Every structure is written in C-alpha cells, then in structure tokens.
Amino acid sequence: MRITNNMLINNMLSNLGTNLGRVSKSQNQLATGKKISLPSDDPIVASRALKLRTDVAEIKQFKRNVEDATSWMEISETTLKQVGEVLKRTKELAVQAGNGTNTPEDMEKTKLEVEQLKIQMTHLANTTYSGRYIFSGFKTDKPLMDEDGVFQIDIANGEQIFYEVGIGDDISINVAGSDVFNYGNDAIAGEKSSIIQTFDDFLAALESGDGTNVGAVLGQLERDSDNVLRVRAGVGARMNRLELTSNRLEDDNISFTKLMSKNEDADIAETIMYLMNELNVYNSSLSVGAKVIQPSLVDFLT
C-alpha cells in the first residue's frame, strides 16, 4: 500500500483524538466521582441510579416519619404512665378511706387530694405534642375534655392516625381518648368521661362519709387501671414495632446507599489506574506521531 504524508497525519490525529477521548473520560470520572455523566454512557446504570435515588429518598423520609411517630408515642406512653400513677394513688386513697377508721379531718384531706388528682387527670387527657392534642383522635386541634371531665368532642376508637413507615406499611401512632378515659366506649361531646365519673363518685362517697360506697369506687378504679394497662400494653407493642421498623430502615438506608454508590460511583483506584495507562498510551502516541510525521526525503537532500 502506498502511504502518503496526509495519511500519516490523518491517522495520527484520529488516534490522538481517540486516546485523548479516553483520557478525558477517565478524568471526568475522577473529577465527578461518577461512572457516568449522561444516561447514554450506560442507560442501565442511569435507570438504576434513578430508582435507587428514589428508594434512598423514601427511606430517609420514612425514617423521619418513624422519628416523629416515636416522639408522639413516647409522649403517649409517658402520659399513660402518669394516668396509671394517678389511678394508683387514688386507689390507695380509696383503700384508706374504706377501712372505716378515718376521722372527718382525714376524710377532708383525702377529698382535697382526690380533687387535685381529678384535675390532674383532666390535664393529662388534654396533653399536647407540638400543639396537637394527642388523645383527641382526628380533632387534634381541640382539647378532649374540660376541667369537669366533660368531653368536648365526639370521638370514636376508630380515629386512628396512621404514619407511613414503609411502602404500604402504616402504623397507628395515637391512642383515642375514648379508649383510655371512657373505658373503650366511643365518647360523645357533652357526656362525662367514665374515669372522671369514678372520681366524682369517689368524691360523693367521701362527702357522704359512707364507707360502703367507697368499696364500689374501688371496683371502678380497679377496672380503669386494668383498662389503662391494656392500652399501655398496646402502645408498648406498637413502639416495639416502630423500633424494629426503625432498625430495618437504618439497615435499608445503609444497604441502598451502598448499592447506589456501587451502581454509579467510579472506583477511584481502578479509574486512576486506567487514567495512568491511558496517559501512557497518549504520551507514546504523541511522541511516536511527532517522530513519524516530521522527516521526509527533503531533510536528507542537500
């Protein structure tokens, strides 16, 4: 084959272009840390990258939801514990009041304490979490009851607020006030809470000084305590589930982030190796090219 000067130059330029293109690709990968810069570099990687980004973003949001849910439920849990303590103290007072050895002064003191406990109970029923009433079901903007223990809103046990903590995985985060303060019966605005009714019954019994009525109150308190314990157990179980979900999300977050990195991040060591190799090739093609295209017969004719 006849080789002409322009062939040499054209071939050299085209090869230099190809080599420089490879250097530029590696350099770009190193500078951005990503394997690809356009979907056409590798459509499969690009489409997986989009999917994984969405997965990671979702997991992060679910984690935030779990954190919110946990705070809400911690408040519920603490409040329920306090409700239990109030009931326990009231029960102690009822036992004391029912043993028939109390002086009227004792009864008066007991009555004062029970009144305070009742107020404490209504306050607990109106506990808020970042401005929202946690026992008011869907009507989070309204308090559950007034100071006399009269419900301000209708509330059904079915008013469960759900947080999404996974795709298709909802968890109920609230306790309907009716479940705790109305012995599991749906509450109707204007009616008195059954727990507060118990307090009122106690106060009435103390007023009358009749020890036998206190016995009936004790039974009601027993019943209410059991009810609160039941609700607390439910909340505890749900918090357990939240904890498990949170651990799973944490694991998912790590594994999906890892997957995302594996999918789209450039392997730096490998890329540097390639880059060095390509630079070598580029350098040698430059030096060989420069040597080959220069001399011709002209240089040797004198």
Partner 1 sequence: MSRSSFFGLDIATRGLYTAQRGMTNVNHNVDNINTPGYSRQVLEQTAARPMLMVDGSGMLGTGSEVRGVKRVRDEYVDVKYRSEAQYLGEWDVKSTLLEEMQALYNEPSNSGFSTVMNEFYNGLQQLSTDPSSHSSRAALKEKAVMLTKYFNSVASHFEYLQNDVNDIIYAKVQEVNSLADQISRLNKQIYNYEVTGNVANDLRDQRGNLVDKIAKLVNVEAYEISYGKLPTGLEDMRFVVTINGKAIVDHYNVSHLEAVQRKEKANDEDIENLYEIGWADGNRVSIKSGELKGYLEVRDGNDGANGSPDYRGVPYYQRKMNEFVRVFARTFNEGIIDIDGDGVIDKTLGHIDGYTLDSQQGDEAAGIRFFTILDEDGNPMDSTTFALFAGDSPADIDIDYYNEMYSQITAKNFSVSSEVYDNPTHNIAIIGAAEEPGNVAVMDAILDLRHNTYMFNEGAPEDFIKTIISTMGVDGQQATHYYKNQMTMTNQIENRRQSLSGVSINEEMANLVRYQHAYNAAAKMIQTHAELLDVLVNRLGV
CB-based contacts of 263: which residues, under 8 Å, 6+ apart?
Answer: 45, 48, 49, 52
Q: How far is CA 146 from the centre of its chain?
A: 32
Tell me: does residue 101 bind partner 1 (CB under 8 A). no
Tell me: does residue 252 bind partner 1 (CB under 8 A). no
Tell me: does residue 58 bind partner 1 (CB under 8 A). yes
Q: Give the span between the Cα atoms of 159 and 176, in whole angstroms.
A: 6
Residue 157: C-alpha distances to residues 101, 142, 184 (Å): 42, 16, 7
Closer Cβ to partner 1, 75 or 117, answer by number: 75
Q: Which stretch binds partner 1 (CB under 8 A): 57-65, 182-190, 210-218, 248-256?
A: 57-65
Residue with tokens 């007034």: 146
Closer Cβ to partner 1, 111 or 248, answer by number: 248
Q: Which stretch binds partner 1 (CB under 8 A): 75-83, 127-135, 191-199, 249-257?
A: 127-135
Residue numbers 2-21 binding partner 1 by CB under 8 A: 2-7, 10-11, 14
Tell me: does residue 245 bind partner 1 (CB under 8 A). no
Q: Which stretch binds partner 1 (CB under 8 A): 73-81, 113-121, 156-164, 201-209?
A: 156-164
Tell me: does residue 253 bind partner 1 (CB under 8 A). no
Tell me: does residue 167 bind partner 1 (CB under 8 A). yes
Q: Which stretch binds partner 1 (CB under 8 A): 49-57, 99-107, 120-128, 227-235?
A: 49-57
Residue 141: C-alpha distances to residues 11, 138, 174, 181, 238 (Å): 78, 8, 14, 18, 24
How many amino acids of this chain bind partner 1 (CB under 8 A)? Answer: 59
Task: Tell me the one-letter amino acid at 296.
Answer: S
Residue 259 Cβ vs partner 1, minimum distance, rounded to whole Å: 14
Task: Tell me the one-letter amino acid at 198.
Answer: T
Closer Cβ to partner 1, 162 or 212, answer by number: 162
Residue with tokens 């157990």: 233
Per the structure block, which two tokens stand in for 174? Answer: 């609230």
Pairing state of beta strands 132-133 and 128-129?
antiparallel
Closer Cβ to partner 1, 34 or 89, answer by number: 34
Per the structure block, which two tokens stand in for 238? Answer: 């749900």
Closer Cβ to partner 1, 127 or 213, answer by number: 127
Tell me: does residue 65 bind partner 1 (CB under 8 A). yes
Closer Cβ to partner 1, 2 or 291, answer by number: 2
CA torsion 251-257-259-265 (nearest 10°) is -160
Residue numbers 180-199 binding partner 1 by CB under 8 A: none
Q: Give the span between the Cα atoms of 5 and 247, in whole angstroms.
A: 70
Residue 68: C-alpha distances to residues 174, 194, 272 (Å): 12, 31, 44
SS3 call for 190: coil
Binding site for partner 1 (CB under 8 A): 1-7, 10-11, 14, 34, 36, 38-44, 46-47, 49-51, 53-54, 57-58, 60-62, 64-65, 68-69, 130-132, 136-142, 159, 161-164, 167-168, 170, 174, 264, 296-298, 301
